[in-house]
């Protein structure tokens, strides 16, 4: 019986609440809430520049890092105003949920896979399993596909016009949309995903899948809230500070330091990256 349960656990495929989420990424500081410790960072500090992202999340009981968390119901990433996604840049995976479950990554064009990672969960509250996941692009969507030799699990994140992204976390296996989970059996404990910068040049114009806001605030950071809904009815919000680079003052302004005329100086505009 134990062997069968363990074998089932090894085939469990998790959804990750993304976005998370690369070598060479901008330094970030994990932020903790009652049930979570999250590090969600961009790969650049430059405004108006192509970027990737990296997400790492660990989940636990409220105020107890050694206890199990509640089942996660939903997660929303609120990116800084001015963040832009262009899902026409990579290829798009338009496969249905059934195709993805049956064929796995083979159901998507190779160019639509733009990242990947790992996830760890407990099955029936006892058996731990770590699986690989693939991150695919689709029209105004992010698709997370957890690998399996038999039936894979699909999680779709909806990208809204303001750049925020919403995921619902399946809590059972197999998970068949839209029916959902009649009983919670799959408890997400840890997740990690990386998406490198992705650009495409056509007719001399370079476009990016993800572009940072056009300006960096005076605080030197873009604040990006992440909100999580849990099965116990609680809602946590953590705010991730994303460091960004402010433009330097022009030499002319620096030369006038201490002069009254300096108040009319303006900072040199940030150099466009593309």
Residue 55 maps to a domain: yes
What rounded mean pLDDT belongs to the chain?
Answer: 82
Q: Which residues contact 170 (CB under 8 A, 6 or more apart)?
A: 14, 15, 153, 155, 180, 181, 186
In this predicted structure, the answer to whether residue 224 has a pLDDT above a threshold of 80 is yes
Rounded CA-CA distance 187/169 in Å is 10
Conformation bin of residue 48: beta by default, left when phi > 0, alpha when psi is -120 to 50 = left
pLDDT of residue 1: 42
Residue 204 phi, psi dihedral angles, 5° rounding: 80, 0
Residue 158 maps to a domain: yes
pLDDT of residue 249: 62
Asked if residue 134 lies in contact with residue 91, where contact means CB atoms within 8 angstroms, the answer is: no
Q: Which residue has the higher pLDDT, 22 or 111?
A: 111
The parent domain of residue 21 ranges over 2-248
pLDDT class of 4 with cuts at 50, 70, 90:
very low
Task: Express as a percent the part of the chain with pLDDT over 90.
Answer: 55
Residue 272 maps to a domain: no
In this predicted structure, the answer to whether residue 257 has a pLDDT above a threshold of 70 is no
Residue 270 maps to a domain: no
pLDDT of residue 75: 94
Residue 260 maps to a domain: no
In this predicted structure, the answer to whether residue 78 has a pLDDT above a threshold of 80 is yes
Residue 62 maps to a domain: yes
Residues 92-141: tens digit of each pLDDT: 999 999 899 889 999 999 999 999 999 888 887 677 888 899 999 999 99
Domain count, the chain: 1
Residue 253 maps to a domain: no
In this predicted structure, the answer to whether residue 22 has a pLDDT above a threshold of 50 is no
Rounded CA-CA distance 134/122 in Å is 20
Residue 263 maps to a domain: no
Residues 194-223: tens digit of each pLDDT: 999 999 998 899 999 999 999 999 999 999
Report which secondary-structure segment, H or E, holds 238. strand 235-243
Residue 145's DSSP bridge partners are 134, 154
pLDDT of residue 245: 95
């Amino acid at each position: 019986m134990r062997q069968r349960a363990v074998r089932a656990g090894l085939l469990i495929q998790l959804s990750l609440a993304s976005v998370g989420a690369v070598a060479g990424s901008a330094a970030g500081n994990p932020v903790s809430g009652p049930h979570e410790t999250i590090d969600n960072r961009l790969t650049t500090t430059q405004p108006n520049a192509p970027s990737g992202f990296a997400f790492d999340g660990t989940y636990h009981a409220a105020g107890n890092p050694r206890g199990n968390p509640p089942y996660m119901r939903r997660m929303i990433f609120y990116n800084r105003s001015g963040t832009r996604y262009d899902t026409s840049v990579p290829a798009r995976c338009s496969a249905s949920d059934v195709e993805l479950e049956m064929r796995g990554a083979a159901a998507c064009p190779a160019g639509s896979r733009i990242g990947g990672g790992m996830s760890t969960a407990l099955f029936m509250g006892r058996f731990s399993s770590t699986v690989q996941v693939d991150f695919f692009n689709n029209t105004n969507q992010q698709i997370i596909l957890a690998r399996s030799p038999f039936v894979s699990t699909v999680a779709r994140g909806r990208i809204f016009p303001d750049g925020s992204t919403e995921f619902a976390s399946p809590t059972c296996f197999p998970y068949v949309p839209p029916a959902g989970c009649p009983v919670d059996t799959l408890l997400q404990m840890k997740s990690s995903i990386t998406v490198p910068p992705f650009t495409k040049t056509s007719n001399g114009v370079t476009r990016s899948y993800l572009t940072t806001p056009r300006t960096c605030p005076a605080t030197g950071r873009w604040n990006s809230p992440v909100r999580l809904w849990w099965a116990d009815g609680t809602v946590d919000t953590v705010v991730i500070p994303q460091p960004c680079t402010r433009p330097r003052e022009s030499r002319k302004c620096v030369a006038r330091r201490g002069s009254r005329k300096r108040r009319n100086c303006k900072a040199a505009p940030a150099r466009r990256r593309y």
